[in-house]
Structure 1
């Protein structure tokens, strides 16, 4: 695929993001309304899309995606751990700050851009399972792990809540997120032999098909209302997210022996900009708040350059 064709492919996607940015910057949107749009996507539209797509997928197709899941676990969780260790012991960050830095370097905004970008390349039906797998890895594994490690760092500052209780709460919270339990539930039902009636699929699709445009608009609104702090940590997080992590995942995909299409899907899934959810977790811990919010915006801008380049190299 030549570079001009890629720009044509991505133009509608970036147009909707730009429209959202304009609304966030000049259209009267604020943090509360932006959160409302994001909540609609992450709690209702995208989980419904996951369920509809997953329930329509044969069991054998899930089994065939195990190597892809291993790649995404290593490409996301493994990358988080490596960055955490470097930031903690080379740059002497406090543990909580290192966890938030690493989380924002590793968590992609797959839920908002995956369907649009990958769907344009392969079709929505072909990418539903990879995106659902990414949802499980991020929401059921990465977020709880980062919260647990962040809390351990806080305990070093004499926090009172027991680590065991915090760990259990973090895991349960991760599993309670619709982006985690919806694909997990759909996968379980498929392996149990459940076949959803067409009526259920149509009901889920009624809201699930709204995901793509609304999600991209939400990304733009979130970027539009954020203030950028041009600091070295913010640029570092954005660079790690949009450049280093895709290269890291590409190497893992080759080692595992994925097919060319699976390599492309795995690399692009981690190459999307940083996640607003990761920024919110940093805000909850009151650690690296300005840096991670700025990195979210910078990574979104960088992706305008990096995504076309990656697609031109991989497709």
Structure 2
């Protein structure tokens, strides 16, 4: 049991620390982290998703209950955190960014290496479903609300524009090609599959190193708001996903994977949105950093509960 809990986490923590040290010692800087992030999100991660989805059995793609449960778990946390933020601040930007921070787990940077270590390559399906919900619903909704808060034209126009932008991203059309290949039983030529697989294999290590590099430039500012976010993200979010899985009778390995994904810390993308919006910046960046550190403990406990039968098939 101890090996199953620590086995996937310790290598992840080690690579994050390497990136953090590289940033603190000035070997790499913030501009380098932005370049590496673009490399991960626009090239190597999409390549991994394309080849992974192309090899996914069609029956898995048609599991609509799992997709709906994921939507409830992800967007339910977003809406709940947004409502709390609105009650506290009565300000649309802060409430929106609070929802974004707590509703968007770090599936891309931390989820892939951890789930692959625990469940194998098939776990990419869970990461893809979460990414689809975030890219097609959460990110456009956040963009629209921030546009409304800034008085930048029509909120509906911002929503349509953000969806159009999301669809053009490799993170969207690359797995879509893989899904189409799976549904139509089309096998990628070996040379193509091997090439994308070779590129995609760099995702876990490079993304974790980049996460540590990003963390090295964040200034800590602890507050009651940050600790509230810790409770929402690391405790309530996986519990909400458990409830969604139980309500829709989603069981087995995919329920386990999605619960673990929701137990991950906040993704780094909300901090970029907060910086651009000029609101909730300190709270967002500090919440992401602290949740990443605390997740070593909370995520280990989540693995323990999963193995103990909380989400057993």
TM range (shorter): over 0.9
Report SS of the residue matched to 2:239: helix
Match of 2:232 in 1: 240
In structure 2, distance between residues paired with 1:230 and 1:151: 28
Cα offsets for 1:31-63 (capped at 9, x unmatched):
111111111111111100000111122322211
Q: Decide which of 113, 116, 139 is 1:116's aligned counterpart.
A: 113
Q: Decide which of 210, 213, 219 is 2:205's aligned counterpart.
A: 213
Match of 1:250 in 2: 242
In structure 1, distance between residues paired with 2:185 and 2:252: 30
Report SS of the residue matched to 2:157: helix
In structure 2, distance between residues paired with 1:118 and 1:33: 27
CA shift, 1:94, in A, is 0.6
Match of 2:56 in 1: 57
Match of 2:29 in 1: 30
Mean Cα deviation higher: 254-263 or 94-103? 254-263
Q: Decide which of 153, 166, 183 is 1:191's aligned counterpart.
A: 183
Match of 2:65 in 1: 67
Q: CA, structure 1 residues 3+167, in 2 after alignment: closer, same or farther (shift >3 Å)?
A: same
Please show how residues 4-153 of structure 1 align to structure 2 within 5 Å: 4-64=3-63, 66-88=64-86, 90-124=87-121, 126-153=122-149
Q: CA, structure 1 residues 24+193, in 2 after alignment: closer, same or farther (shift >3 Å)?
A: same
User: Do 1:97 and 1:150's aligned partners in 2 also have CA atoms closer than 8 Å?
Assistant: no
User: Do 2:96 and 2:146's aligned partners in 1 also have CA atoms closer than 8 Å?
Assistant: yes
How many positions carry a matched residue from both structures? 307
Q: Tell me, which stretches of 5 or more residues in structure 2 are unaligned?
A: 308-313
User: Do 2:144 and 2:156's aligned partners in 1 also have CA atoms closer than 8 Å?
Assistant: no
Q: Tell me, which stretches of 5 or more residues in structure 1 are unaligned?
A: none
Matched, 1:292 2:291: no
CA shift, 1:193, in A, is 4.0
Segments of 4+ moved more than 3 angstroms: none
Matched, 1:274 2:271: no
Match of 2:310 in 1: none
TM-score (ref. length: structure 2):
0.93
Report SS of the residue matched to 1:225: coil
Cα offsets for 1:246-297 (capped at 9, x unmatched):
1111111122112232221011111211111111111121110111011110
CA shift, 1:235, in A, is 2.4
CA shift, 1:101, in A, is 0.9
User: Do 2:237 and 2:262's aligned partners in 1 also have CA atoms closer than 8 Å?
Assistant: yes
Q: CA RMSD in A?
A: 1.6
User: Do 1:273 and 1:299's aligned partners in 2 also have CA atoms closer than 8 Å?
Assistant: yes
CA shift, 1:4, in A, is 4.6
